[in-house]
Chains A and B, each alone.
Chain A
Amino acid sequence: MSSKRMATIMGVTYGIAAIMPFFVGDIRFIMHILIMCLIWAVVASCWDLIMGFAGIFSFGQVAFFVIGAYTSAILSVQWNVPSVVAILLAGVFTAGMGVIVGLPCLKLAGPYVALVTFGVHMTLMPVLRGEIGIALGSGGSQGILTIPPVNILGYTFSSANQIPTFYFTLFLSVVCTVIILAVIKSYWGTAFLALKDSEEFAMSLGVSAFKYKLMVFALTSFLTGVMGAFYGHYIGMLSTRMLELDLFCTLMVMLVVGGIGRFPGAILGAFITVTANELLAPLGAYRAVTLGALVVLLVLLLPNGVMGLWLKRSDAEA
């Protein structure tokens, strides 16, 4: 898909989101959902970049989100680091963790990468709840309950003043997804696709699998870590509950709904999934089953996700 078409879809999606406060700005619940859509749009796009474009079956995206969230929260609460600095440091720390996780994955084939990265996800909860986590300031099983909101030049962005917070989140989300778009359309993106399609051939043409795979781990971990850090400051509290399978599955549904490797499908997937999840809330215990059935139906009708509606035949086949 051309850059122009991708940018148009992103522009329309974010444009619609941008005017929503004019209609629903006074409904706190909807504004919260919109903010969450913007956060998940970035996380899902990062996952799409590493899995859909680079072909690395990383299942560690939620873990990186939580690492970013906890790092920034601990820096702010324990060390009184200003929130903006803490968010950036959390992004850098998460990128470092991404590289550390990525290194052993370079020697592994698809399913084993999934196992290693999901192993990191599964290990994180006991670490944060255990003695190491408590020593670092994770708050153990109770979590961190008093995370200060983002403060820029004395102006506070928190759940108490949602409209400015919404626009700040929109700004962050747009910046992060534009970075992802730029990467996809740059020679980095070409290297990712070439390595995904045929690593052997790509390397024989001078593409360094080591360099580009680590780059994608670092970049996606950084952006995910930044959004995780922002999430912590926005919500004001964190617990390891995020590491249970609900969020992991919901994120995966976002990717499937948007279309894996069909950026900016992940952004659409995030908006559709979060909205559908909330609309189905009255179904109670049947919500997950209904959402699952809708996903199965969507996969059957649109194997390329909702992006399949915009894809040319040649793109769809590829």
Chain B
Amino acid sequence: MLKATRVTKKFGELVAVNDLSFHVQDGQIYGIAGPNGAGKSTVFNLITGNYGYEGKIEFGGKKITGLSPYRIAQEGIARTFQIPQIFPSLTVKKSISVGSRFGARNGLDEDHVEKIIRFVELEDERTQKTGRLNLLGKKKLMIGASLATKPKILMLDEPMAGSNATEIKELMNLIRKINVELGVTVIIIEHFMKVLTELTEKLLIIESGSMICCDAPEAVTKNPEVIESYLGKAYAERD
């Protein structure tokens, strides 16, 4: 479904993403992890057209390299951000409508917007200004607005950051629901290995912009190179 081939991104002398190739299958929950500064969010920014790059990214067999972010959203790739982004001037319903009106191919679909509001459980807040939402509410709003674009792929950038155990559980259930009930492929960047091992089918580990390994989570967590450079020995010896 999404295929990156030999993608490289340089910021001056710094190589943020180095000759990276990966392939996300339709219907998967695909994880990306790595140390801080490994280039995980840069990979998202490359896929969504925020930066130019060398190499090629294809989506559904179509080359999306060079398309602008709004066109990529309209093609069916939605994303959320590590630091929650909201529209403080708009209400929850209006914010979610933005995704439907501008991102979905067939324009504003009021029924779909209502369905998404219920799906992300923001019914009671629908008329509230988004600035009044708590952190979890803001994350759900971002996910809801992204889902309103009727995406084929949803990319979540550290959705659990700053959340407590209950919120993490709730967000994990929401991500599963998105994948199973809506049939949306999910790519998730996360630091919580427990979240990644429980949710994902395949896990890509990168460091300094290069792939260390890409495999099933069980295999990845036993990979000596991953333990050495990212997880640490304490993680491997925790049981």
Contacts and interface: CB of A to CB of B under 8 A. Distances in A.
Interface of A: 187, 190-191, 193-194, 196-198, 200-210, 261, 314-315, 317-318
A318 B132 CA distance: 9
A155 B233 CA distance: 90
Nearest to B85: A201
Given A190-B94, A191-B102, A207 B108 contact: no
16 contacts: A187-B108, A191-B102, A193-B87, A196-B89, A197-B86, A197-B90, A201-B86, A202-B87, A202-B98, A202-B102, A203-B73, A204-B48, A204-B69, A204-B146, A205-B103, A317-B129
> Which 4 interchain pairs have the tightest Cβ spacing?
A206-B103, A201-B85, A206-B102, A206-B73
B74 interface: yes
Contacts of A210: 68
Nearest to B48: A204
B78 interface: yes
B89 A205 contact: no
B88 A205 contact: no
Q: Tell which of B78, B85, B94, B102 has the most Cβ of chain A within 10 Å.
A: B102
Contacts of B48: 204
A207 B102 contact: yes
Contacts of A209: 70
Contacts, number: 89
Contacts of B103: 205-206
A241 to B, nearest CB: 37
B149 interface: yes
B89 A208 contact: no
Contacts of A191: 98, 102
A318 B73 contact: no
B81 A205 contact: no
Nearest to A195: B87
A191 B89 CA distance: 11
A207 B85 contact: no
Contact of A318 (B89, B104, B145): B89
B98 A207 contact: yes
Contacts of B74: 206
A193 B81 CA distance: 19
B8 interface: no
B51 to A, nearest CB: 12
B99 interface: yes
Contacts of B50: 200
Contacts of A187: 101-102, 108
B128 A198 contact: no
A281 B78 CA distance: 58
B108 A193 contact: no
B73 A200 contact: no
B142 interface: yes
A59 B73 CA distance: 32
Contacts of A197: 86-90
B82 to A, nearest CB: 11
Contacts of A261: 89
Contacts of B90: 190, 193-194, 197
Interface in B102-148: 102-104, 108, 128-129, 131-132, 142, 145-146, 148
A201 B142 contact: yes
A250 B148 CA distance: 43
A205 B99 contact: yes
Given A203-B73, A204-B69, A207-B102, 9 more contacts: A190-B94, A190-B98, A197-B88, A202-B87, A203-B70, A206-B74, A206-B104, A208-B70, A318-B131
Contacts of B69: 200, 203-204
B97 interface: yes
Contact of B146 (A194, A205, A318): A205
A198 B87 contact: yes
B98 A318 contact: no
B79 interface: yes
Nearest to A203: B69
A103 to B, nearest CB: 15
A318 B129 contact: yes
Contacts of B73: 203-206
